[in-house]
Structure 1
Amino acid sequence: MVVPTEPEIFLYDLACTKNVCFSPVVWRIRLMLNYKRIAYRTIFLEFPDIEPTLKKLGVDPPESPSGSVSKYTVPAIQHVPTKTYIMDSIPIAQFLEATYPDPPVPLSSELGREIEAKSRDIIRATFRISVMPRQIGILSPPAQEYFRRTREALLGHRLEDLLDLDKEEQSWNAIGDGVRAAGELMQKNKADGPFVLGAQPTYTDFFIAAFLQSTRVVDEGVFQRIFKCPGYKEIYEACLPYMEKKD
């Protein structure tokens, strides 16, 4: 009989009606946990419950680059052995790499920084034009109300107004060159392996795979538009073994 492993990490994730992870920032940490084979348990939170839950736990939001305190968000973790709570993907990744260094996940490289910089604009555009207006379809009613109220306040119009197919197609055409340029950088070391630096994954690989997997959970068609591009496909497929635990 296999004895269940007690979790060393409680991972606070964003809930959806599919009962799997769909947040790209949480997926970055989940990929890292899975790759390092760290025993963890997921606690899913609805959008409106994130702040009160983390406040009650005594989680301290990290400071933003401007010095102001960030809002409460996921991912957040509790490291059970040290009773430590950490919020936000970068501090969590740094903690995991320092606490569980084997196998290593390089958190930064010159090539990785370049890829992430080029990819951020693509990811922002993709989520705004194609993913965000479709996310509401996988949320519970209370989360839908919260999501609609907060996002539409930022947009200045209804989420559904983003789903004009002609405008969506124009937006995709506008980011096409950037998608191809980032994909070419991802293949710079393809002779040595499928990952950004070759044979072993880095945080940049998890950054890319997390974006793709999040998109796939929301909408398969949107996922396929990016997945078919050289570079993205190879990294995603190489990271599939670290996506098996998703709930």
Structure 2
Amino acid sequence: MTTSHPIIYYDIASKQPSRTFAPNPWKIRLALNYKGLPYKTQWTNMPDIHSLREGLGIPANRTLPDGTPYHTLPAIQDSATGKLEGDSFAIALYLDSQYPETPRLFRPNTIGLTAAFNQQVDGIFTKHTGLSTKMPFDASIEEEVKAMFVKRVGASKWEDLLPSPEERAKDLVSLEAALEELAKAYQHTGGTTDWVWRARGTATEQKQVPGREEAGVLLDGGEPVYADFIVGAWVKMFEACMADEDWEKMRGWQGGLWGRVADYMERFAEMK
């Protein structure tokens, strides 16, 4: 039965107006809105996430290069059941299990496949997060947040995380090539990959594969599932955090697929 008590949804605070920008919080916001479950967002400043999760008794879900635990969001606290969960994939599984009468995030016998897809998609986009050059940090804590990112990746200073113009250009070529491969899942054109051969991208000497039949915005049509929100979350993150000119390029890649995905996800993007 659908709960009449709101789920408390813990998301990372941005500069005002508060909005989701990180990929894993996006996955669960899209899922909650799709399922139509009542929830209330508790915006949490990034430096406060560690104490929040420890106070709730939610274990760390990441490990820093030096081996110390690292706490991230999202997390939920279900007021109806008392359930606490602090991993995005586990949250999605819980929502389907606890509220089976709402639209399903996982079709039968697809959890393992979706978990593998989640890892694959996270790997594609994580490799290119250096292109996220306009993260919407609150100015009052921006320096503290930057220091956290520096520690997280084991760098010495924030500037080390920023790509040079040459690196940025190469990253755009690489990202377009990777998304060309991901687009095959939307086009149902099979698993043959060009990753180990020649990356096709926006470099002058490289030309993209001639356009195929336009891909739909959902992997398998019909209603969305969690796999659609995995990709949609990353696309929405890059929409929010890329330089405007880079996002305009990405929107148009693969026949405008990623722009259509971003626009489709807006129907599930309400900030409650």
Whichever residue aligns with residue 130 of structure 1, its letter is L
Within-5 A mapping of 1:8-27: 8-18=6-16, 19-27=18-26
1:28 maps to 27
Q: Kindly state the Cα deviation for residue 63 of structure 1 after the two structures are TM-superposed.
A: 9.1
CA–CA distance in 2 between the matches of 1:40 and 1:118?
29
User: Residue 70 of structure 2 aligns to a residue in which SS?
Assistant: coil
How many residue pairs were aligned? Answer: 235
Cα distance, 1:111–1:51 mapped onto 2, change above 3 Å: closer
Instruction: Give 5+ residue unaligned stretches, structure 2.
Output: 190-212
Report Cα offsets for 1:130-184 as digits up to 9, x if no partner.
Answer: 11x432x523432x23322232232524333424222200122133322111112
Aligned sequence identity (%): 21
Q: Kindly state the Cα deviation for residue 240 of structure 1 after the two structures are TM-superposed.
A: 2.1
Q: Kindly state the Cα deviation for residue 226 of structure 1 after the two structures are TM-superposed.
A: 2.6
Cα distance, 1:184–1:113 mapped onto 2, change above 3 Å: farther
Cα distance, 1:169–1:47 mapped onto 2, change above 3 Å: same
CA–CA distance in 2 between the matches of 1:188 and 1:47?
39
Q: Kindly state the Cα deviation for residue 57 of structure 1 after the two structures are TM-superposed.
A: 2.5
User: Residue 11 of structure 2 aligns to a residue in which SS?
Assistant: strand
1:126 maps to 128
Q: Indicate which of 262, 268, 271 corresponds to 1:236.
A: 262
CA–CA distance in 2 between the matches of 1:155 and 1:62?
18
Cα distance, 1:160–1:235 mapped onto 2, change above 3 Å: same
Whichever residue aligns with residue 176 of structure 1, its letter is E
CA–CA distance in 2 between the matches of 1:14 and 1:138?
10
Within-5 A mapping of 1:1-247: 7-18=5-16, 19-61=18-60, 71-101=70-100, 102-106=102-106, 108=110, 116-127=118-129, 129-131=130-132, 133-135=133-135, 138-142=137-141, 144-153=142-151, 154-161=153-160, 162-188=162-188, 194-219=217-242, 220-230=244-254, 231-243=257-269, 245-247=270-272
CA–CA distance in 2 between the matches of 1:112 and 1:70?
26
Report Cα offsets for 1:26-46 as digits up to 9, x if no partner.
Answer: 010000000011010000011
Instruction: Give 5+ residue unaligned stretches, structure 1.
Output: none
Whichever residue aligns with residue 9 of structure 1, its letter is I
Q: Kindly state the Cα deviation for residue 118 of structure 1 after the two structures are TM-superposed.
A: 4.4
Q: Kindly state the Cα deviation for residue 22 of structure 1 after the two structures are TM-superposed.
A: 1.0
Whichever residue aligns with residue 228 of structure 2, its letter is D
Report Cα offsets for 1:100-142 as digits up to 9, x if no partner.
Answer: 2221112747875675454333301221x211x432x523432
CA–CA distance in 2 between the matches of 1:115 and 1:86?
21
CA–CA distance in 2 between the matches of 1:112 and 1:54?
26
Whichever residue aligns with residue 252 of structure 2, its letter is K
Contact 2:5 2:80 (8 Å CA) reproduced = no
CA–CA distance in 2 between the matches of 1:198 and 1:226?
22
CA–CA distance in 2 between the matches of 1:98 and 1:112?
16
What root-mean-square deviation, in Å, do the aligned CA atoms of Structure 1 and Structure 2 show?
3.0
Instruction: State the TM-score, normalized to the length of structure 1.
Output: 0.81
216-225 or 90-99: bigger deviation: 216-225
222-231 or 48-57: bigger deviation: 222-231
CA–CA distance in 2 between the matches of 1:215 and 1:193?
20
User: Residue 80 of structure 2 aligns to a residue in which SS?
Assistant: helix
CA–CA distance in 1 between the matches of 2:155 and 2:58?
32
Instruction: State the TM-score, normalized to the length of structure 2.
Output: 0.74
User: Residue 17 of structure 1 aligns to a residue in which SS?
Assistant: coil
